[in-house]
Structure 1
Amino acid sequence: MTIQEMTSKEVTKKVFNKEELFILDVRNKKDFQDWKIEGENFDYLNVPYFDLLDGVEEIIGKIPAEKEVLVVCAKEGSSIMVAEMLSEEGLSVSYLKGGMKAWSEHLEPVKIGDLQDDGVIYQFVRIGKGCLSYMVVSNGEAALIDATRMTDVYLDFAKSLDVKITHVFDTHLHADHISGGRTIAEITSAIYWLPPKDATEVTFAYQPLEDGNEVTIGNTTINIEALYSPGHTIGSTSFVVDKMYLLSGDIIFIDSIGRPDLAGMAEDWVGDLRETLYTRYKELSEELIVLPAHFMIIDELNDDGSVSEKLGTLFVQNHGLNIEDEKEFRKLVTENLPPQPNAYQEIRETNMGKNNPDIDQQREMEIGPNRCAVR
């Protein structure tokens, strides 16, 4: 039998559609336990590649004949070899094209909704990393929010819509992934906005993004209104788009809240985080649809693959928004934290313009899941 390749886009569609898939992951056990492809109806077998060098006979009985089988490794090569061995044993299998490297970089655009005067807002789901970025489109113009380093995806998407990117925003100085905002702004001559309190060490020019800033996209009344919302970082800024959507950055997620410790300032910023969540956000309309910069678990995806929820619903269901005792809240967000993101300090310095790593170094820095939330 010939082996088939399966792309990250095809796997993403299976995640969105809740299809069944059996994944044979041939990376080492530590890497698999730390980070894997997640799907609601996916099953897994993790056997390191080196344990299969002498043959696959011992695992044949563990691979279901009735399910689609995908072999996964870090970069593709090992999965092709294992897939070929399984094929020689009569099994029909596919391998993940580009491996987990490609999975980490895939962006899937999803339409979130319509805005005034034929405007549209799109969400780009970085399915393997949990990152979410946005494009607001109106009257031939577009704004990008929290773009990743895969800049071609946004540029090509804007071209397909025949729109010009005129504004690029980062809600905060990211610590878990390298921002593509500044690069896109340079390519398109767009204005690049960054909260000044997060930009005290940056080495490049930017437009200071401050509370109350309003930016109009296209010749319409679609406004992106900045709302200072510190806590994840001291400069974190949310956006209210068209009085319908709250782009919350890493302050609040669907099932958790942002961690305040990625610049080593957890004790100092926990008060800001509580003030943002329990006072500033409480003053906003509960009908606003929250669009965060990350998701933590696959269960947070809606049926169409998007990630969103009404603010009022989050005030009821999100545990981080329902801790009355301030000491208990402080304890939660300073002590109950997952490991910090891989290479987070190097990523922060890259986003400041202090480092200029090559593409292989950038990929290595970003390997693994995002860890921007309190557990």
Structure 2
Amino acid sequence: MAMEPLTVKELAQKILNKEDVFLLDIRKEEDYEGWAIDGETVQSLNIPFTQLKNGVEDVKPKLPNDQPVYVVCAKGISSQKGVELLEEAGVEDVTYLKGGMTAWSEHIEPVKVANLKGGGELYQFLRIGKGCLSYVVAADGEAAVIDANRMTGEYKSFAEEKGLTIKHVFDTHLHADHISGGKTLADETGANYWFPPKDDEGLEFDYSPLKDGTDVQLGNQTVTISAFYSPGHTIGSTSLIVDQQFLMTGDILFVESIGRPDLAGKADAWVDDLRKTLYDRYKELSQELIVLPSHFGKMEEINDDGTVQAKLDELYSNNDRLQVNDAEEFRHIVTDNLPPQPNSHEQIRKTNMGKQEPDQDERREMEVGPNRCAV
């Protein structure tokens, strides 16, 4: 009997549970090299579909005999043909990833981070295929969503399941690597939308200004979300301190890296802001705060409990980018080692400003590929 297609949720669970996974990726070599599914227990083999068609027998010896083979393509279409070819050649335990890399890019996995001191709860939403992290803070039947992805239905379904009303939606900065769902989610739920005014480069919609020192109460004043101005990735980047326990750093500070300052073309102008935030402003805060970033770069950054987090003082000890004492050396390390910019980052910025309205297929295409917010 043929195996059922593997869903992206099933794959995510296998990776987070550290189960052995073997993937046969049949996309073009350049696509595979630029962006592929990885994980601590993932073994991946790239055989482009054209090569597979011309020599299935040559591929068979490279496949395992003791575990299933999951065929991966861009959208889950050519992978079905790949499965047929392999089955005809006698490969038995083989199926395909439903929806391919497109579905993998859009899958979101909610994980509970902690109970809050005031009685609320905090959840981290891993967009595992894209490296994006977003958050839901819940208290007394109310919820706040931070750095929402464009798949707003995920947050609405979660809120409904938990009996929550979404009251506040925050964007920590003007995103350039993925399309924000913040304003859309706020409109769909009637929530208040918060955005840093210094990142307003001509937004086509209204928002509540997220300024340094702004306090937002959630529930019956159970949980406080406080804004902490932290420029560097963008000029308006603003961190959020939740319940005096957690520091949501947006794209400024990650577990193993820091945010890049160049996505608006202003690396030389913003690198000093980035250093001041990382080396001065964050050091003014309690070092016991737990850092919750809006991205992760490597699967190794995911902890055993499925979350991406670390104490601030641990990052000052372990993150190499926080060990550069000389300001000029820091400037060179950051500006001389910038990775390629995210796909369609200018179009994404314009979409997030409300200056253009691409359809859903165009939005998917704009987001293809890994996040590239770190340096």
User: Which category describes the TM-score, using the shorter chain as reference length?
Assistant: over 0.9
Find the aligned partners of 1:242 and 1:51 in 2 and give their Cα distance.
55
Find the aligned partners of 1:23 and 1:310 in 2 and give their Cα distance.
34
Task: Encode CA deviations 1:231-256: one digit per residue, 9 max, x unaligned.
Answer: 00000000100000000000000000
Find the aligned partners of 2:338 and 2:14 in 1 and give their Cα distance.
31
Query: Partner of 1:283 in structure 2?
Result: 284
Query: Partner of 1:101 in structure 2?
Result: 102
Query: Partner of 2:37 in structure 1?
Result: 37
**Which amino acid in structure 2 is aligned with residue 38 of structure 1?**
D
**Corresponding position: 1:179 with 2:180:** yes
Query: Partner of 1:366 in structure 2?
Result: 367
Query: Partner of 1:346 in structure 2?
Result: 347
SS at match of 2:37: coil
Query: Partner of 2:207 in structure 1?
Result: 206
**Corresponding position: 1:13 with 2:16:** no
**Which amino acid in structure 2 is aligned with residue 139 of structure 1?**
D
How large is the Cα RMSD of the aligned pairs?
0.9
- TM-aligned CA deviation for residue 51 of structure 1: 1.6
SS at match of 1:175: coil
The number of equivalent residue pairs is 374
Query: Partner of 1:271 in structure 2?
Result: 272
CA 1:90/1:271 → structure 2, altered by over 3 Å: closer, same or farther?
closer
**Which amino acid in structure 2 is aligned with residue 276 of structure 1?**
T
**Which amino acid in structure 1 is aligned with residue 335 of structure 2?**
T
- TM-aligned CA deviation for residue 136 of structure 1: 0.2
Find the aligned partners of 1:276 and 1:14 in 2 and give their Cα distance.
37
Structure 2: segments with no counterpart, 5+ residues: none
Alignment of 1:1-375 (within 5 A): 1-54=1-54, 56-88=56-88, 89-374=90-375
Task: Encode CA deviations 1:195-239: one digit per residue, 9 max, x unaligned.
Answer: 001013111111110000000010033100000000000000001
8 Å CA contact 2:139–2:222 kept in 1: the answer is no
SS at match of 2:357: coil
8 Å CA contact 1:65–1:91 kept in 2: the answer is no
8 Å CA contact 1:71–1:96 kept in 2: the answer is yes
TM-score, length-scaled by structure 2: 0.98
Find the aligned partners of 1:110 and 1:300 in 2 and give their Cα distance.
15
8 Å CA contact 1:250–1:294 kept in 2: the answer is yes
8 Å CA contact 2:238–2:249 kept in 1: the answer is yes
Find the aligned partners of 1:359 and 1:69 in 2 and give their Cα distance.
31
- TM-aligned CA deviation for residue 194 of structure 1: 0.5
Find the aligned partners of 1:200 and 1:93 in 2 and give their Cα distance.
50
Task: Encode CA deviations 1:30-49: one digit per residue, 9 max, x unaligned.
Answer: 00000001111111111111
**Which amino acid in structure 2 is aligned with residue 305 of structure 1?**
G
Find the aligned partners of 2:34 and 2:54 in 1 and give their Cα distance.
26
**Which amino acid in structure 2 is aligned with residue 87 of structure 1?**
E
- TM-aligned CA deviation for residue 86 of structure 1: 1.6
For structure 1, which segment, 334-343 or 1-10, has the greater mean C-alpha deviation from structure 2 after superposition? 1-10
8 Å CA contact 1:4–1:93 kept in 2: the answer is no
Find the aligned partners of 1:84 and 1:141 in 2 and give their Cα distance.
49
- TM-aligned CA deviation for residue 257 of structure 1: 0.4
- TM-aligned CA deviation for residue 117 of structure 1: 3.8
- TM-aligned CA deviation for residue 57 of structure 1: 1.4
Find the aligned partners of 2:93 and 2:365 in 1 and give their Cα distance.
32
Find the aligned partners of 2:221 and 2:118 in 1 and give their Cα distance.
7
8 Å CA contact 1:55–1:85 kept in 2: the answer is no
8 Å CA contact 1:141–1:217 kept in 2: the answer is yes
Find the aligned partners of 1:35 and 1:148 in 2 and give their Cα distance.
19
8 Å CA contact 1:3–1:83 kept in 2: the answer is no
Find the aligned partners of 1:73 and 1:161 in 2 and give their Cα distance.
35
TM-score, length-scaled by structure 1: 0.98
8 Å CA contact 1:3–1:87 kept in 2: the answer is no
- TM-aligned CA deviation for residue 17 of structure 1: 1.2
Task: Encode CA deviations 1:125-149: one digit per residue, 9 max, x unaligned.
Answer: 0000000000000001000000000
Find the aligned partners of 1:55 and 1:267 in 2 and give their Cα distance.
51
Find the aligned partners of 1:3 and 1:30 in 2 and give their Cα distance.
29
SS at match of 1:355: coil
For structure 1, which segment, 49-58 or 128-137, has the greater mean C-alpha deviation from structure 2 after superposition? 49-58
Find the aligned partners of 1:200 and 1:338 in 2 and give their Cα distance.
24
- TM-aligned CA deviation for residue 55 of structure 1: 5.1
Task: Encode CA deviations 1:41-75: one digit per residue, 9 max, x unaligned.
Answer: 11111111112224521101110111221100000
- TM-aligned CA deviation for residue 189 of structure 1: 0.6
Tell me which stretches of 4 or more aligned residues in structure 1 moved more than 6 Å. none
8 Å CA contact 1:34–1:368 kept in 2: the answer is yes
**Which amino acid in structure 1 is aligned with residue 9 of structure 2?**
K
